[in-house]
Chain A
Amino acid sequence: MLTGEFIAFMALALVAIIGGVLLINLTKVIHMVVALVFTFVSIAGIFVILSAEFIAAVQILIYSGAITIIMLFGIMLTRHDDTSEPITGKWRKLFLLLGVLGFGVAVYIGIYNLDIPQAANTLHVDNTEQIGISLYSHFIIPFELTSVLLLVALIGAIVLAKKDEDDEKEAEKE
């Protein structure tokens, strides 16, 4: 049965997987990040198909917005033009490829004929409001812990990244 939903899913899945494969195969770091943006945007489309409207918006806002930006800054702050040979050999790569493929096949055997009888749901009706009610009545403690996590991440990252400037100032004083 060829419906619009199926066509949309196939197109989005194709874009997502092509983005992922390009991430592995491209040589320049900037190009890899751009390939990944395609994957992130098409995953947002998958979320729309799964009636998770709000998560799709968050995906675009956080992943293809914020995380891509911060990765680009990380790339620009460091140097990526070295051509030194890797220390580990080719056999390790092949071995890892086989291992990952084995993992993939093992999980696929588990899921390929999974069939759960579908229950009716109303996730698409006022999706953001449903998330809000659930988040602020059942998940209060995880939510407050999230704020602590964000605070720790902010302070920790500032401490780690800012270290040198104080040292430079002290060096200037001497």
Chain B
Amino acid sequence: MSSVPISAFLALALILFCIGLYGALTKRNTVIVLISIELMLNAVNINLVTFSKYGVAPAITGQVFALFVITVAAAEAAVGLAILIALYRNRKTVNIDEMDQLQG
């Protein structure tokens, strides 16, 4: 029926998720860490939409859930950047390894 196997979509989502995970764990710039998290959420969306079409029981639910994930991602990006701006105002840095005030 379809020429692209389901595992190809899942593999693409896996690769993007791994790139996002690596970026979120190693980058020092907080903006890039936030962007990497967005990339991971996007990879998850690919999985949701793939299973909504090629899963055991194809249904629209996967797409609706992807819509919710996108909404939460947008809200998360907005609040995350607001926190970054508030932090930058106090510490004059965007590097994530210098924000260690709670480290005692």
Contact = CB atoms under 8 A, between A and B. Distances in A.
Determine whether A and B are in direct contact in the complex, meaning some CB atoms lie less than 8 angstroms apart: yes
Contacts, number: 228
Q: Determine chain A's interface SS by DSSP, over half rule.
A: helix
Interface in A52-90: 52, 54-55, 58-59, 62-63, 66-67, 70-71, 73-75, 77-80, 82, 84, 86-88
A146 B72 CA distance: 8
Contact of A5 (B2, B60, B72): B2
A49 to B, nearest CB: 7
Given A55-B63, A84-B95, A24 B16 contact: no
Could you say which interface size class chain A belongs to?
Answer: 35 or more
**Chain A CB within 10 A, most for which of B63, B68, B72, B82:** B63
Interface residues of B, number: 76
Contacts of A108: 11, 14
A82 B95 contact: yes
Given A62-B70, A111-B10, A134-B60, A29 B31 contact: yes
A169 interface: no
A115 B60 contact: no
8 contacts: A17-B15, A29-B31, A43-B42, A70-B77, A78-B31, A107-B14, A116-B6, A134-B60
